[in-house]
């Protein structure tokens, strides 16, 4: 189906179902219940899941396939955001031109930065991309203030000269981003028994684009181009002596991956029309590295999982405070309860970055294939536990990604 192999089709269908049913899947707990705080099905957070999913899918095309570790990809995301906001300010509040421009701008910068950075490989490539990203960040903060509005960030104002559309709405408010009239911030809440589910226009736009982006990524993975990229990672010397020039391939994938980042940035601005320099900082680039590695670099579904995982924990884990912990461990004797909470305290709430850092280290050390590899190992271990009907089990139980 869709020109994909059987296994890829399965993965693709799973991603489609996950994306389209996210409002249900992420709200598994009834609104009134004590677990409702673990619901992630509100529009804002769901949008971030899929936007960072797109970002990570693009990053994975570069890092997962070629092994070139860019530490400056957030720069493209930031540029995409700025481009989109400018489009809102000057042209129209419709998201389509903004998203298109954000991809074009990010792509152009990726051509320039990639052309220079890809002349080196290994750690030098990482440092070059880092240097370019920090340059962009510093400039956005300082001299480029007329374009970026410096530290405050670029925003929509009431006196924007919008060519197609009004500077302000009839009642004097700032217009909102829309898709041919469908407002991005609009959402419907459906209450079913104790549950409530949010269906947001913005989320579904992002989800559809993420599905498309994922599809393109699968096609690239399975194409001769993708195979060449894996060959570059595996053995550049052999590639050169096989009559192939690695540079155009790496540049092409660098630009594609930059455009994915730009797309993510454009979508981010479409959901909430503002753009600030902190989106370009190298620690923001580090975040997408974390997502990709944590999920499983070089696998199809890994980056999406990683992005969802990190964004979920960033928003949910950080909400766990001592009160919540006390609620959980109330069944323990008092002394033990306080002890357990004292142990857990540094890792939750504001300290969730510590948990993330530790988890990331553990993954790099023990699970170089990320969560996907973890899943594969578990499913293998399960198979080993029932050796009798192993033949049938092995056939039915194919490995998650790849």
Q: How is residue 354 written in tokens?
A: 């510590």
d(CA 128, CA 116): 8
Residue placing its CB nearer to other proteins in the complex, 206 or 288: 288
Q: How many helices (H) and strands (E) does the chain have?
A: 18, 6
Is the alpha carbon torsion for 330, 332, 334, 336 positive or negative?
negative
What are the distances in angstroms from CA 63 to CA 71, 77, 236?
Answer: 10, 16, 15
CA distance 115 to 99: 24
- State in angstroms the smallest separation of the CB of 360 from other proteins: 4
Q: At closest approach, how far in Å is the CB of 343 from other proteins?
A: 13
Shortest reach from residue 361's CB to other proteins, in Å: 4
Four-CA torsion 202, 206, 209, 211, nearest 10 degrees: -130
Closer residue to other proteins, CB minimum distance, 93 or 128: 128
Annotate 67-110 with DSSP letters as a single string: ----S-THHHHHHHHHHHHHHHHHT-SBHHHHHHHHHHHHHHHH
Are the CB atoms for 58 and 213 separated by under 8 Å? yes
C-alpha separations of 393 from 38, 84, 91, 383 in Å: 34, 50, 57, 7
Q: How far is the CB of 319 from other proteins (least distance, A)?
A: 17
Residue 239 or 274: which CB sits closer to other proteins?
Answer: 239
Nearer to other proteins, 194 or 368 (CB): 368
Phi, psi at residue 276, to the nearest 5°? Answer: -125, 160
- The minimum distance between CB 224 and other proteins, in angstroms, equals 4
Please say which residue, 27 or 250, places its beta carbon nearer to other proteins.
250
Closest separation in Å from C-beta 262 to other proteins: 18
Sites of contact with other proteins (CB under 8 A) = 3-5, 67, 69, 116, 119-124, 126-128, 130-132, 134-135, 138-139, 141-144, 219-220, 222-228, 230-231, 233-235, 237-245, 248-249, 252, 256, 282-283, 286, 289, 293, 346, 351, 353-354, 356-358, 360-361, 364-365, 368
For residue 69, the minimal CB distance to other proteins (Å) is: 5
| Residue with smaller CB distance to other proteins, 88 or 137 | 137
CA 318, 324, 330, 335 dihedral sign is: positive
Is 186 within 8 Å of 201 (Cβ atoms)?
Answer: yes
User: Which of 144, 340 has the CB closer to other proteins?
Assistant: 144
Query: Judged by CB, which is closer to other proteins: 225, or 328?
Result: 225
Considering the complex, what minimum distance in angstroms separates the CB of residue 148 from other proteins? 12
Distance in angstroms (rounded) separating the CA atoms of residues 63 and 57: 10
| Contact between 192 and 28 (Cβ < 8 Å) | no
Q: How far is the CB of 259 from other proteins (least distance, A)?
A: 13
Helices in 4-159 by DSSP H: which ranges? 6-20, 22-25, 43-66, 74-90, 95-117, 122-141, 145-148
Report the residue number, 237 or 385, with the smaller CB distance to other proteins.
237
């Amino acid at each position: 189906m869709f020109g994909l192999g059987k296994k890829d089709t399965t993965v693709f269908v799973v991603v489609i179902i996950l994306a389209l049913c996210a409002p249900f899947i992420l709200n598994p707990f009834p609104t009134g219940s004590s677990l409702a705080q673990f619901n992630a099905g509100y529009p804002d957070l769901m949008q971030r899941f899929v936007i960072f999913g797109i970002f990570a899918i693009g990053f994975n095309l570069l890092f997962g396939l070629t092994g070139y570790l860019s530490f400056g990809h957030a720069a493209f995301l930031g540029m995409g955001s700025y481009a989109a906001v400018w489009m809102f300010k000057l042209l129209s509040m419709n998201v389509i031109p903004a998203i298109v421009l954000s991809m074009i701008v990010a792509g152009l910068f990726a051509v320039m930065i990639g052309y220079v950075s890809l002349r080196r490989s290994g750690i030098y490539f990482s440092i070059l991309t880092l240097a370019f990203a920090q340059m962009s960040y510093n400039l956005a903060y300082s001299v480029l203030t007329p374009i970026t509005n410096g530290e405050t960030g670029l925003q929509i104002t009431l006196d924007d000269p919008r060519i197609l559309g009004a500077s302000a709405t009839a009642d004097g408010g700032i217009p909102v981003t829309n898709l041919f009239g469908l407002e991005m911030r609009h959402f419907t809440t459906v209450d079913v028994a104790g549950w409530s589910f949010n269906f947001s226009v913005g989320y579904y736009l992002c989800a559809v684009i993420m599905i498309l982006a994922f599809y393109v990524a699968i096609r690239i993975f399975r194409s001769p181009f993708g195979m060449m990229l894996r060959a570059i990672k595996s053995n550049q010397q052999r590639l050169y002596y096989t009559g192939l020039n690695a540079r155009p391939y790496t540049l092409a994938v660098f630009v594609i991956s930059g455009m994915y980042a730009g797309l993510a940035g454009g979508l981010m601005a479409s959901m909430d029309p503002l753009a600030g320099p902190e989106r370009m900082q190298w620690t923001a680039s580090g975040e997408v590295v974390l997502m990709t590695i944590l999920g499983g670099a070089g696998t199809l579904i890994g980056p999406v999982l990683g992005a969802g995982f990190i964004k979920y924990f960033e928003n949910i884990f950080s909400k766990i405070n001592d009160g919540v912990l006390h609620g959980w461990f109330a069944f323990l004797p008092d002394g033990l309860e306080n002890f357990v909470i004292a142990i857990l305290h540094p890792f939750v709430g504001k300290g969730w970055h510590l948990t993330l850092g530790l988890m990331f280290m553990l993954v790099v050390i023990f699970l170089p294939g990320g969560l996907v590899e973890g899943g594969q190992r578990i499913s293998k271990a399960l198979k080993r536990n029932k050796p009798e009907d192993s033949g049938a089990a092995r056939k039915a139980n194919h490995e998650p990604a790849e």
